[in-house]
Amino acid sequence: MRISRQQITGRGIAQRSGLDTLSSIINYTGEYVNFGDAFSYGTQLTLDTDYATETATPHIGALVASPASVTNQWYRYHSSGALYTSVSAPTSINGWFSFLAQETGGLPSYCGMYQKLSLIAGKEYKSSIQLGFTTNTSKIYLNTYTPDGDSYILSSTTSTAIPHTSGSSGLFESTFLAISSNDIILIYTTTIETSSQSCLISNISIQEKQEYLVPVYANDRYGNAHKVLRIAVDETLSNNT
C-alpha cells in the first residue's frame, strides 16, 4: 500500500482534509430593531413623527416626504385625503402597539410605522411580530425597502390575516435579505371591513441569520463516537490494522 494515496486508515482516521461529513446548523442572533417591545416603549410612539399620506403610493410617499433620517427610531404614517379612508396613526399604550384600519365607500386605509435599520448588506435576517389576541378582521403587512436615489424600492413583502385567536398562531415570522446597510422595515395594516378594526402588537424583533458547519459523529458497536467520513472518488482503502 502506498501511504501517499491513502486517505482513510483502517482505523477510520482521515489523512486528507475535506473528508469530514458536515452538518449545517442555523441560528438567529442579535437584535436589529430598536424599541420593538411595546411595553418598554410606553406611550412614546404616540409622540413620534406622524405623516398624513395622500399619494397613490402611500408607503413610499411617506418614506420620501417624511424620511427616517435617524437610524433606529420609529416614524409613523396614516392615510388621509380623497384617495383613502382617513385613520389615525399607530399608538403605543398599555404594552401594545395599536394599528387601526377601516374601509369606507370602497376606499382603503393605511396605518403604519417604519424604522431605518443598521444592517449588513447581503445578510439574511428574520423578522418576528408577536400579535395580540383579537377577533377584529384585517391584514398586517411587513415590508422592507432599500434606498434608491431620492426614492425607495420595495425589496420584500409578506403579510398575514387577522384575527388571531386562541386557536391560531400569534407569531408572524418572515425572512428578508438586506440589500443595503440602511434598509427600512415598514409595518402597516389595512382591511375591507366598513367598521373600525384594530390590530395589537406586543413585540417586533429582527435577528441576523448565522450558519455553522459541524462534523457529524456516529457511535460504533462499542459505543465509541467517531466522525462520519466521506470517501473521495480516488479513494484507496487501507489494509492497516
Spatial contact of 115 and 74, defined as CB atoms under 8 Å apart = yes
pLDDT the model gives residue 162: 87
Spatial contact of 16 and 231, defined as CB atoms under 8 Å apart = no
Q: How far is 53 from 30, CA to CA, in rounded Å?
A: 33
Q: How many CB atoms lie within 10 A of CB 182?
A: 15
CATH 2.60.120 fits 28-211, yes or no: yes
Spatial contact of 53 and 79, defined as CB atoms under 8 Å apart = yes
Supply the DSSP symbol for 211: E
Please determine, for residue 163, whether its predicted confidence score (pLDDT) is greater than 90. Answer: no
Mean of all residue pLDDT scores within the chain: 87
Q: What is the pLDDT of residues 108-141, one digit of tens each?
A: 999 999 999 999 999 999 999 999 988 889 999 9
Spatial contact of 130 and 203, defined as CB atoms under 8 Å apart = yes
Supply the DSSP symbol for 133: P
Spatial contact of 29 and 210, defined as CB atoms under 8 Å apart = yes
Q: Which three-class secondary structure state does DSSP give residue 16?
A: coil
End-to-end CA distance of the chain: give it in Å, rounded: 13
Look-up: residue for cell 370602497?
Answer: 106
Phi, psi of 96, rounded to the nearest 5 degrees: -135, 145
Cell of 173: 415570522
Residues of the chain with CATH 2.60.120: 28-211
Q: What is the pLDDT of residues 171-216, one digit of tens each?
A: 899 999 999 999 999 999 999 999 999 999 999 999 999 876 766 6
